[in-house]
Structure 1
Amino acid sequence: MADPPADEAFTMPPTRREAVLRRIRTEIVTGVLPPGTVLKDAEVAARLGVSITPVREAIAQLAAEGLIDIAPNRSRRVTQVTQKNALELIDVMAVLACAGFEWGVPNLTPSHLQRMRVRLDEFVANLRAGNLPAASAAGADFSTIVILASGNRELQTHVDLVVARTLRLIATSAGDDIWQVWVTGYRETLELLEADRPADAVARYRQIYVEYRALVETMLFRPPGC
């Protein structure tokens, strides 16, 4: 297992629970905690310098997100990614995100488009710098701006439940071809929105998930040596 980030880099957001949740989620998404890793409350608490309570709360949330499996004997392990659950996850994420995107597009303003441009630039810059957590966050925000414009908070709640798992899958399958699907797709989608071609933009956004699913199916799960 890769060494965890230095504890001195662990900065506290408003609550300890949120701090622990963000930290463990990031470690799972980036592969610092690979699939199958056993998580013990006391060990995680000692490493992060917090009490056991926020650790337990964070692990419960991550289990709800599908990032951690809790066995009948209460042992906790980072979830394994199989071809079946990976493709199912992409399908669910596509349905939710594309619905929110389509509903949000009619409500977009020039300010929304400017914010999307900023997040796209940050996405590309962080990819070039090798900062995958920051790149993933910027990429997710690109879509979130549009989904929130739909005004459907319930939909955003459901998107949030699967987005971390999707980011983990992207990180697991990360390669130039995988990332290029999102970079090109986002760029062309935004250009269509800026050209006042909303229907074409929605269609291009949907195509991102089609292309990504095909790549994950053929690249992430192909036999070694192929």
Structure 2
Amino acid sequence: MPIPCRSAGTDRSLLRDQAFRTLRAAIVDGTLEPGERLNDAELCAWLGVSRTPVREAVARLEQIGLVTVRPGSSTTVSPLDVRAAAEAQSVAAAMHELAAREAVPVLGDADLEAMTTTNDRFADALDSGDIEGAIDADGAFHAVLVDVAANSRLRAVLEDVTPLLRRMERARFGSLTGRASVAQHARIVELARAGDAEGAARANRENWLTLRPDDSPDDSPEQEPHAPR
């Protein structure tokens, strides 16, 4: 029998993933604001998909803490939550530490150059007050190590926790200079170039934990922690 070109299951999976990525990006960049109600019909019209992939996408967003679902009542964009951000920050720091440890022994000159270039772009964005550019450059810097590590489990964990951190970043980054992170990035590159995997791993972890508040007064959603820079 001929092999089908595309199955219905694959179609739905692709639609679900597309809906998830679009909604996640809209929540992270503030298009969908904390507390905003999400209506299935409106989301379907916006995304151009049926209710099933939208509901599956929303369920996944709930799992990673970006939406709050009250069965039979409402679905809303989750508020910024200090405890959830602190937990995500700890996990992300550990994952990026592992990424550096696994990547450094096999980094090439092109990888090191890419890290240097993105750190320069990060510094320029900070100097010009370009929050989005700084966030994108910071992500690109750390992505080099994650990509070279090629650890699918590690990547999957970061897929879950990073959006929450990026969301917090956008809420707070305008009040942060982030200049210390430029030097921290440069130190990571220096250690990586020297082949010091353990040193680079520790420096990468410290970079993600640098702006953790020394003391969080409480767990109220209104108080957001500094995101890692």
- Contact 1:147–1:156 (8 Å) recurs in 2: yes
Cα deviation, residue 27, structure 1: 2.0
- Which deviates more, 23-32 or 173-182? 173-182
User: Percentage identity across aligned positions?
Assistant: 28
Cα deviation, residue 30, structure 1: 1.9
SS at match of 1:77: strand
2:62 is matched with 63
Cα deviation, residue 146, structure 1: 1.0
SS at match of 1:175: helix
Q: Distance in 1 between matches of 2:181 and 2:40?
A: 36
| 1:107-157 Cα deviation digits (max 9, x unpaired) | 21112112223333444455536351x543432232222123223221111
- Contact 1:30–1:172 (8 Å) recurs in 2: no
- Contact 2:104–2:196 (8 Å) recurs in 1: no
Q: Distance in 1 between matches of 2:57 and 2:121?
A: 28
- Contact 2:67–2:75 (8 Å) recurs in 1: yes
**Comparing both chains, which one has the higher relative contact order based on Cα–Cα distances under 8 Å and sequence gaps of 6 or more?**
2
Cα deviation, residue 55, structure 1: 2.8
Q: Distance in 1 between matches of 2:120 and 2:199?
A: 22
SS at match of 2:80: coil
Cα deviation, residue 178, structure 1: 5.7
- Contact 2:115–2:141 (8 Å) recurs in 1: yes
2:40 is matched with 41
Cα deviation, residue 184, structure 1: 3.4
Distance 1:53 1:181, change over 3 A: farther
Distance 1:178 1:97, change over 3 A: farther
Give the paired residue count: 206
* Structure 1 residue runs without a partner (length 5+): 1-14
- Contact 2:112–2:193 (8 Å) recurs in 1: yes
Q: TM-score under structure 1 normalisation?
A: 0.75
- Contact 1:170–1:178 (8 Å) recurs in 2: no
- Contact 1:100–1:155 (8 Å) recurs in 2: yes
| 1:73-132 Cα deviation digits (max 9, x unpaired) | 362111122222221221121122212222222221112112223333444455536351
- Tell me which amino acid in the other structure corresponds to 2:166: L
Cα deviation, residue 40, structure 1: 0.8
Cα deviation, residue 65, structure 1: 2.4
Q: TM-score under structure 2 normalisation?
A: 0.74
- Tell me which amino acid in the other structure corresponds to 2:147: L
Cα deviation, residue 42, structure 1: 0.9
Aligned alpha-carbon RMSD (Å) = 2.9
